[in-house]
Every structure is written in C-alpha cells, then in structure tokens.
Structure 1
Amino acid sequence: MDFNSALSGLKATSSELSVISNNIANVSTNGFKSSRTEFADIYANSNGGGGKTAIGSGVLLSAVTQQFGQGQISFTDNNLDLAISGKGFFIMSNNGSIAYSRAGSFGVDKNGYIVNNTDQRLRGFLADNLGNITGAQTDLQISTATLAPKPSSAVNVNVNLDATSEPPTAPFVAGFTPVLPPDPSTYNSSTSTTIYDSLGNSHIMTSYFVKAHAENTWRVYVGIDGSDVTPVPNTPPVGVPPMPYPTGELAQPYTLVFNTSGGYIVNNPATPATYYGPGPVTSTTSGLVNSGSLQPLNLNDLTLNSVAITASSSTSDGSSTTDNGASSIALAAAINQNTASHGVTASVNPNVLDLGIATFGNLAAGDFSINGVPIIGVNANETDLLNLINAQTATTGVVGTQPGGAGTSIILTANDSRNIQLITDGTQATGANFANFNLNGGVALNQAQRGTINLVTNSNQGIIVGGPNPGHAGLVSGPQSGIVQTSSDPIDISNWTPAGGAFGPQQVSLNFNNSTQYGAPFSVLALSQNGYSTGLLAGVNVDSSGVLFAKYNNGQSLALGQVALANFGNVQGLSPQGNTSWVETFSSGSALIGAPGTAELGTIQSGALESSNVELTDELVELIVAQRNFQANAQSIKTADAVTQTIINLR
C-alpha cells in the first residue's frame, strides 16, 4: 500500500505541475483564465466500513477548475480591441456554432465582419438605418457604404441681441440678392451658418437682426446663399379694427419679442398679432385734440402704438428754455420718421395750443395752472374758464380764445413768446377732460412725460406732447394704425428650392428659444443644425455600453450595432475549447445575454485588451511546492523499497 499511496501522490503532483506549467505558459495570452488543481484523498472501505484503524490509499485529482477573475486591462492602438471590465463573455459565431471568449483582439474580414484570430464572428444587437439599436442578434458588420446626406430641417440659434440698440435710421430693404446685398446701415447685426440640401450640397444661411421701433422687439430677415427667403407678410385681416391675424399668418417680417427681463417670448397662438387698421389720416388742425387716455411718459421715451419714439438732442429749435433735446421740432421729427410704423403724424404750430375742452367744472388750487399761475373757479363752464385764463394773461402771457364760438374748444396763444406750461393733478372735474392729458405736476409741454400713451380706438384723433418757445407741437393722427405683437413668430422657411437639382421646396425651421436681449453687445452663443453632407467611413469606435459607432469624414457618427455579452449561472461549468474560448454545458446553464453595463454584465473598454489573470509570482511559488511534493512522494517509494528489501534479506 505504501507504493500505491506514493504512486498516486506522484500522479497527482505531476498533474499539478502540468496545470501550473500551462498557467505559466499562458501568462501572456489575452483573455486566458488560470486553472487550479483540486485533490481528494482515497480510502479503501470494506462492506462493514473502515473502522478506526482504516488507512488511506493515497490521493486523487478530483478537478481542474478555471479561475474567472478579472485580468489586468492594457491599452492598445486598435479601436476594435475590446476588453470586458467585469462579468461576461464575448459571443463568437463560427458558421452558427456559438462559443464564448474573454479575448477581445478583433479585426475586420474582407466582408466587413468583426472577427477574432480564428475568424469567429463577434455577435451583437442589430441597428437600423437610423442607428437605433434593436433587440435582434446578428454578426456585427462594419459597412463601408457612403453615408447618405441629410437635408437640414432645423437650425438652433442662440444669440444675445443688444437691448441698448437703436432702430437703424434707414429701413431694411426686403428682396435682397447676391448682386444687391443688404446695406449694413439697415440692420443691427447678423450671423451665418451652413445648411445642407438633399444632395449634400452646402449653403450659407444668414440671419439679419433689425431692432424694431416697438420696445423689446426685433425683426429677422433670412437669406440663403445671399438671396432673401423671408416670406412676404400676409395681407391685413378684413373687418373693423382691431382685428387679430388668423393663426399661423405672418403679420410682418419675422418678429422676435422679448420680455422685460430679456427672455425670449415663444409664440403663443392664442395671442396673434393684432391689426389696428390703415393710416395715417393726416390733419393740419393745430393744437390738442382729445385722444382717449394719455398716461405719464418717460422723457425721450415716448411710445405710440407700441412704437418707441426717441427725440434726438441734435434736432432742436434752440429756443426752448426747458429742454432743447425734447423740443417740439425734435419730437415732431422723431415721430414723423416712424409714421409708417405707428400711424401718427406730428405738426408744429408756433402760435396756438388747443385745450380741446368744451365744458369744465370746479377748479381748486393745484387742479390746473398755466405757466405756474393757478386757474381757480367754481362751476366754471367753457366761458368761465376762458375768462379765468384771460384774467391772468398779464402774469402768464397766455391768451385764451374760442374761434368757433361758445361750446367749442379753447385755444391758448403764447402772445409774449414764452412757453406754455400746463400743470394739472389729473383730477376729472365735472364735464372736463383733463385726465386725457395728465402733465403730472408741472412739466413743460416741450418735455415728454413718464409713461406710455395709450391710444383707444373710439376717440383716437390726436395728441400734443411738445410746447417750446414760442409755440407747441401738435401731434395729429388718424384712427389707430399699425400692428401690435406680444409673442414671437415661428420662423419657418418654406419657400426655398436649392439650385442644382436638390429636392425643393426645402423646409427649414429656426429656433430662437434660448436667445436673449440683454444690455450687452451682440454675441453668438451657439449655432447648430441637423443636416450634413455625404460621408465616407473614417473610422470606428465602441463606447462603454458596447455600441459600435462608424465615424465619417463629414463629422457624423452612426451606430452600426451593439456588442452583446453573455453570462452563466455557473461559469465553472463551461467547457474549455482552446483558443481562449468556452462552450456552454448542462452544468453551466444557458447563456444569459444582454447589453454591456446591464444586469451583472460588465462594461466595454475600446482600444484595450484584458491580459491573462495568471499571477506569475504565485505560480512560481506553487511550482516549487509541487516540485517538493513530487520529490517527497518519490522518497516515499524509495523508503518503501528499502523496507521491502530488508524483509527480503531476512532469509
């Protein structure tokens, strides 16, 4: 029995030496998993059992198990070299025969399939023509076909428009062409980007930004390859003004509207642009004519029909004793410059001021003053008011008359060449209309006041906002006119057909939702569009989730598929097949297939390989131990031989 036990030890140790040697031999094999010998002792038992004096019969090699611990990941220069960080196996196909491997050294065969060194194909999930990963499994293939162009359909524009900008002095001329481009003096700023047609041809789209007269409002004109593609505005709606434009109709060239915080106001179909009728209907009647409601105005910030009016300090009559920059001439010039937008015409009359008041009521101190002199009276009708005004002529220098006779408007004349300064507290006396021109506590008529003029449609004829020495400014308008818009237009180009045979008309939408209007210089923060030209394959890459991307020379990427990984309930049950591959067995269970990074599956590292998980130092130590074990078992045979020889020599 001594010989048998020692012989079994030699056999077992020899197997251990073989396993260790195999581990050491594959220390540089990518994806290799080391093996470990496992032993069991042997007892020869009788039918009745071994009893307390049973002696073992040696050792038995019970199993050689592989250790599937993670190997070190080293980086390479090949994007198709793949390493699994964590659990899982690559799925390899050989004409339908499936094997599993951790070795990720891959290349491409003549048909574009991703293969390993033994021409087994890497399996994964199929991607459709748009790059969407489907659940269908297939052999992964890299297509070298040309990437078809994609026509641009959406452009995102993120700009800041300078809130301090003034409307250009010259109007922007629509219908520009490459031969007759827009005059730079007619727009505030511009930006360009490249878009593509259905054939992959590139085109330059340019947006021209024009500060509108209405506050926080800009016009946008769009040109492609130098030609204007901005649609012609729709004709005004028919009906009694104000009339809203039908939803989707363009009231004026593309309009961007911002709120008082500088944020972009997106289109709201529930509040379309409103049309206030034709105009202006100009009158030469001098003086003040009632205009509905006159709210306080900021100096040099007069607003008519949503159009901001700014009086230039360079335009002045030079004789105003209060504010030359806002003189009647300056205001009239500024207003008339934008008459087409707001429908109001200003005129300057050097002689008279028409109060537009037929009857009046009680006047207490502070209710009404002319040139600082209070006009006070009880139960004053227009005749009483006329007498009260003329009673103070020696002090005020102002004469009141009623050229039309009793019951008509009172005309004030500054006969001593002084400004006519009217002061009112805005009190609505019986029969009076002073609330219609509230001068808010003593501001000369040659100054615009704080607030906004609100013209109502039922009594909208005219207003006066100036009165320098020696007269006043009479602002006369017809019915309220123009277009009021409170939200931005959708900017959709639908009338452009590219040259050269490309599909047309091509639809292109511009999105300004992230644009702003702050008090900072014009700046382009972001420009992007969704089209591209024809692309040739320039390379491939695999991300951590195993998605295989083709990179094209037009800057685009397209998913071609996704690497699939497999895991098993018992990886020790896998059967090794050589070439660093395994096949499933009944003991391993069926493969659990999924995408990298899901469930318990690891992630993919592109341009890297998993090295052998053999720890060389440990194997060398084990080799020494196995060698000593072999020598010890050999010594046991030698000792048993000596004992046997002694017994033989007894005779």
Structure 2
Amino acid sequence: MSFTVALTGLNAANENLKVTSHNVANANTTGFKGSRAEFADVFANGGQGLTDRTVGSGVRLASVRQQFDQGSIEFTNKALDVAISGDGFLTFAKGDELVYSRNGALGTDRDGFVTNAQGARLQVFPASADGFDTGQLQDLRVSTADNPPRATQSIEAALNLPAQGDVPVNTPFDPSDASTFSHTTSVTAYDSLGTPRTASLYFTRTATDGEWELRTQLDGQAVGAAQTITFDSSGQIATPAGGQITLPAAPVTGGADDLNLTLDVSNITQFGGGFAVNALRQDGFATGRMTGIEITKEGIVQARFTNGQAEQLGQIALTEFANPEGLSKLGDTAWGESFTSGPAVRGVAGSGNLGTVESGALEASNVDLTKELVNMITAQRSFQANAQMITTSDQVTQTVLNIRR
C-alpha cells in the first residue's frame, strides 16, 4: 500500500510542477492570471481495512484555482492599448460567442474594427442621444472618413465699444473707407460645404448717445440692412431685446446653402476706454480629418479631428462575474462564462464594482517569479521525498522476500 501512497505523492508533485511551470512560462504574457494547485488528502472508505481508513491513502489534486489579483499597469503610449485598474473584464465578440479578457493589446483590422491578436472584436455600448445605450453591444469600429462640416448659424461678439468717441464725419457707409465707420472686427464662418467665409462686423456711432449702427458683411457683401443697438446708462445692451439679431439669408458661391446667421450681441458693452474685442465666436467648422483616438477613464472612445471636433465612437463594455474563478479557461488569456462563474453582469468603467480604464497602458501578468521559483523548489523536494519513499518501500519488500525459513 505504501507504494500506492507514495505514487500519489509523485503525481501531486508533478502536477504542482506543471502549474508552476505554466505560470513561469507566462510571466511576461499580457493580462495573464496565474494559477495555484490545491491538494486534498485521500482516505479510503467502504470495504477497506481499519488502517486504510485512519492512516489515509495519499493525496490528490483537488483544484487548479485561477488567481485574479491585479497585475501591474505598464504604460505603452499606444492609444488603443487599454488596461483595467480594478475588477472587470474587457468584452470581445469571437464569431457568435462572447469571450472575456484582461489583455487590452488592441489594434484595427482592414475594415477598421478594433480587435485583439486573435481577431476578436472589442465590444462597446453605442452612442445615443442621451449618452450611451448600455442595453446593447456593438463592435467598436474606427472609420477613416472625414468629419462632415457644419454651417455657421450663430456669431457671438463679446467686445467693448468706447463710451466716448466721435461720430464718423463721412457718409455714406463704405467698408473700404475707415472714415465712414467707427470700428470693425471679423471672424471666419463656414458654409454648409465647410468653405471658410469672412464675416465682418462694422460699428458706427450715431449722433444719439448710447446708439450704434451694426452692419454685417459676408465675403464683402452686405447681409441685410444696418441694425441699431443701444445701451443703457450702465453700459449694458438695451436693444435689441435679448441681444439677438436674426439676419436675412445670405447667398454664397460654390453650390453651398444660403447662410442663415444670428448675431448674439448680448455681451457687447459700452464702457469708458477704448475699443476692445474680448471674444468673437461662431459655431461652424470645416471638414476634418481624423488625427487620433482618445479613451477616457470611463472607457469613452473618441475620435479627434483636425477641425477641433471629437466624435464619440462608443463606451467600452466591462463585464464582471460573481465568481470569476469559475470562468472557463479558453486560452489566449481569454475566459468564457460558465455555470460556476454565474451570469455576466455588464456595465461601464467606474460603476458598481467595476474598475477604471487606463488608456495607453497594458496590465502585466500577475505572476510573482520569486514566489514561483520557491514553489518549484518545494515541489521538487516533495517529488524527491516521495521517490525516496518508493525506494524505501522497495527495500523493505526485498528484505521480506529474502527471509529464509
């Protein structure tokens, strides 16, 4: 019987060495989670003798338990590399199956889909009017198409017109003759095709205190008639009410739609001092080409464009399980849902128990090489000791066989 008991010890030590060698082999595998061999003693039951039931029959491998401790975060400065700081898994679609991983080394395929090294597509919550639709998943796709332009609709002027000043001596108004107006400023606006247009504002003081005439020109062409603006005794805009001036449609060349502009003059003041432009803003922009991808700690993926705009492509879907140690091991640092793990619970980074997303970083293997090498020595000594037990049992048996009557 001692042969059998020692043999179970040899098998257990060998299994321990296999688990340890697997951990050591993956010490540099991104997102890898080390395992631990767990053993249990064996006692005979049923028709065995009393000695077998009290002394025991050896050892067996009870479980190889996955260790989901946090690995160190290593920054790579590659925009599509992501690491999870805290609990949760990245969600991937591999054909019709969803798989889960902590390996966030990502890239794009020929069609622009964001995938891992095995071609599984990263899953995100799609953007919606209210933010993101967390009720459905979709593949994250990065498009190289241009960001479409938007025609200017509003021009906001924040400036000061001097309370003291002379009325222009020459009339009528002529944009090429500075003596026919008091002050001017301009801003670049955009038509529906993204073509830049110069919108110029001309301010002319009238003979009435606190009253000015505002004229607008687009690429040198007048847009409507002069608009009258007045100020109260505190230097704040009095008319038009609300500080909004709606201009008539301005035709443009090149096949673009007419520009329908609204002037926001609510932040124009008439204080003492000189003419000063504090801000001149408009809400249109030209066509933009993508310059890069940005991922926030909440997992929001944004594309940045040369026109200063950012387009939200989706929010990375993280998944957690009641018992992650019960996940099915699929290889390639991926796991699958199982009955033991419990159902998948999805959410966004930073919500509930889910961790945050680190962009431009990867999670290293959580294997502690020093600990594994010590465990290797321990398993080796255990193997040697059990082999010695077999040798000793063999010697005892040989001695019995050599007894002469």
- TM-score normalized with structure 2 length: 0.89
Q: 1:207 aligns with which of 181, 201, 206?
A: 201
Matched, 1:220 2:214: yes
Q: Distance in 2 between matches of 1:221 and 1:602?
A: 56
AA partner of residue 285 (structure 2): Y
Q: Distance in 2 between matches of 1:149 and 1:560?
A: 18
Q: 1:231 aligns with which of 225, 229, 247?
A: 225
Matched, 1:255 2:229: yes
Q: Distance in 2 between matches of 1:60 and 1:48?
A: 18
Q: Distance in 1 between matches of 2:256 and 2:47?
A: 94
Aligned residue for 1:95? Answer: 95
| Cα drift, residue 563 of structure 1 | 1.8
Aligned CA-pair RMSD = 2.8
| Cα drift, residue 152 of structure 1 | 1.0
Q: 1:533 aligns with which of 286, 292, 303?
A: 286
Q: Distance in 2 between matches of 1:76 and 1:259?
A: 60
Q: Distance in 1 between matches of 2:54 and 2:150?
A: 84
Q: 2:257 aligns with which of 490, 503, 506?
A: 503
| Cα drift, residue 547 of structure 1 | 2.1
Aligned residue for 1:40? Answer: 40
Aligned residue runs from structure 1 range 334-373, under 5 A: none
| Cα drift, residue 521 of structure 1 | 4.2
Q: As a proportion of its length, which structure holds more strand?
A: 2
Matched, 1:195 2:189: yes
Q: Distance in 1 between matches of 2:280 and 2:9?
A: 77
Q: What is the aligned length?
A: 403
Q: Call closer, same or farther: CA 1:58–1:522 in 2, change over 3 Å.
A: farther
Deviations 1:424-443 (A, max 9, x none): xxxxxxxxxxxxxxxxxxxx
Give identity over the alignment, percent. 40
Aligned residue for 2:16? Answer: 16
Q: Distance in 2 between matches of 1:574 and 1:148?
A: 44
| Cα drift, residue 48 of structure 1 | 11
Q: Distance in 2 between matches of 1:211 and 1:552?
A: 42
CA contact (8 A) 1:191 1:206 kept: yes
AA partner of residue 498 (structure 1): V
AA partner of residue 15 (structure 2): S
| Cα drift, residue 533 of structure 1 | 1.5
Aligned residue runs from structure 1 range 107-506, under 5 A: 107-127=107-127, 133-135=132-134, 136-159=136-159, 161=160, 163-170=162-169, 173-174=172-173, 176=174, 181-211=175-205, 218-232=212-226, 253-255=227-229, 257=231, 260=234, 268=241, 489-504=243-258, 506=259
CA contact (8 A) 2:229 2:238 kept: no
Aligned residue for 1:374? Answer: none
AA partner of residue 490 (structure 1): Q
CA contact (8 A) 1:87 1:602 kept: yes
Aligned residue for 1:26? Answer: 26
CA contact (8 A) 1:44 1:50 kept: no
Task: Report the 3-state secondary structure (helix = DSSP H, G, I; strand = E; otherwise coil) of the residue aligned with 1:539.
Answer: strand
| Cα drift, residue 131 of structure 1 | 10
Q: Distance in 1 between matches of 2:48 and 2:238?
A: 97
| Cα drift, residue 89 of structure 1 | 1.3
- TM-score normalized with structure 1 length: 0.57
Matched, 1:630 2:383: yes
CA contact (8 A) 1:230 1:254 kept: no
Q: Call closer, same or farther: CA 1:587–1:254 in 2, change over 3 Å.
A: farther
AA partner of residue 625 (structure 1): T
Aligned residue for 1:647? Answer: 400
Q: Which has the larger radius of gyration?
A: 1
Unmatched tracts of structure 2, length 5 or more: none
| Cα drift, residue 32 of structure 1 | 0.8
Q: Call closer, same or farther: CA 1:516–1:60 in 2, change over 3 Å.
A: farther
Deviations 1:549-596 (A, max 9, x none): 222233322112222111111111110101110110111122111222
CA contact (8 A) 1:546 1:562 kept: yes
